[in-house]
Amino acid sequence: MTNAKHTVLCVDDEKQILSSLKRLLRKENFNLLTTSSCQEGLDLLENNDVHLVISDQRMPQMSGTEFLSKVKEKYPETIRIVLTGYTEVETIRDAINKGNIYKFILKPWNDDNIKNEINKSLEQYDLIQANRSLNEIIVEKNKQLEDANKSLEKTISIRTRELELKNEALELSRAMFEGLPSPIVGLSMDKMIVLINKEAQNLEIKNQKFLVGKSIFDYFSEDIIEKIKPIFKSKKNKITICQKINNLNYMVKFCSMSGRFEGKGIILYFQSQAV
């Protein structure tokens, strides 16, 4: 035996036919097994990884097509070829139609033709195996894709719910901010007004109401501006000033935001003082 990747089994009760096949095929790139008995052929199949079986049609215990139908039952992937004479062609064609054999070769054969047929049959075997492997890979990839899609759908569902909860929390925060009983104004670190609650909308400083987008420095005198500048430079966390608003005295507290919002903004609290 050689190190070839294929093995071919030839079954024929005529010893001279087997000898001829051995001489003809001895230099081919596959391992060759021979036997003159169908039962021995089945035994060889059980103990060897055979890729192609060639059987004579006229065998003593059973016909070649009967033998190859047994091979098909137990080794369906093995390629099956029958050697036959002209008078048995119709019987062989019926076996081909039933799928019991791959093809037939007429006797007497042409040496080059039979070698070509054997090599093409082994190529067909490799092609079938390659297709099967590819199909298995495709099935596995499809399974992985299906699992990934399910995981993605679950992740999207979780993320969607998280966004819904965050939106609900944001809406609730806005409602709470709007409903606070004290005037509150939110500032960015570049001194711009970004939030105003309902109570703060009624306040006027220097004859102007608080408006989103305006600088907070537009509402205070120069001396107060100098006092509150440090909080925008993160040099202080809280500054309190006194300011007359709507003819009332107010304590105005500038407080830096803390926690994960540290350095992101400043909140102004307005508290009226009894005269």
pLDDT band for position 257 (cuts 50, 70, 90): confident
pLDDT band for position 2 (cuts 50, 70, 90): low
Instruction: For residues 202-212, give the mean pLDDT.
Output: 90
Residue 260: Cβ within 10 Å count: 6
* pLDDT, tens only, 156-181: 999 999 898 888 888 888 888 888 88
Beta bridge partners of 32: 8
| CATH T-level topology, domain 175-273 | Beta-Lactamase (3.30.450)
Q: Does pLDDT of 155 surpass 80?
A: yes
pLDDT value of residue 13:
92
pLDDT value of residue 95:
79
pLDDT value of residue 216:
92
CB 64 within 8 A of CB 43: no
What is the residue type of 10? Answer: C
Q: Which of 51-55, 144-148, 201-205, 263-267 has the highest mean predicted lDDT (pLDDT)? A: 51-55
10 Å CB burial of residue 52 (0-12, 13-18, 19+) is buried
- Could you tell me the residue ranges of all domains in the chain? 7-134, 175-273
Domain 7-134 belongs in CATH node 3.40.50.11900: no
What is the residue type of 248? Answer: L
The sheet with strand 238-245 has its strands ordered as 193-196, 184-187, 266-273, 248-256, 238-245
Out of 12-16, 37-41, 46-50, 175-179, which region has the weakest mean confidence (pLDDT)? 175-179
Instruction: For residues 109-127, give the mean pLDDT.
Output: 93
Q: Does pLDDT of 205 surpass 80?
A: yes
* pLDDT, tens only, 48-98: 999 999 999 988 888 998 999 999 999 999 999 999 886 777 778 877 887
pLDDT value of residue 122:
94
The pairing of strands 184-187 and 204-205 is: unpaired
Alpha helices in the chain (DSSP H): 15-25, 38-47, 64-74, 89-97, 111-179, 222-232
Q: Does pLDDT of 274 surpass 70?
A: no
Q: Which long-range contacts (CB under 8 A, 24 or more apart) does 21-30 make?
A: 21/54, 24/111, 24/114, 24/115, 25/115, 25/118, 28/115, 28/118, 28/119, 29/2, 29/4, 30/2, 30/4, 30/5, 30/6, 30/118, 30/122
CB 252 within 8 A of CB 238: no
Q: Does pLDDT of 3 surpass 90?
A: no
Residue-averaged pLDDT of the chain: 89
Q: Does pLDDT of 1 surpass 50?
A: no
Instruction: For residues 198-212, give the mean pLDDT.
Output: 90
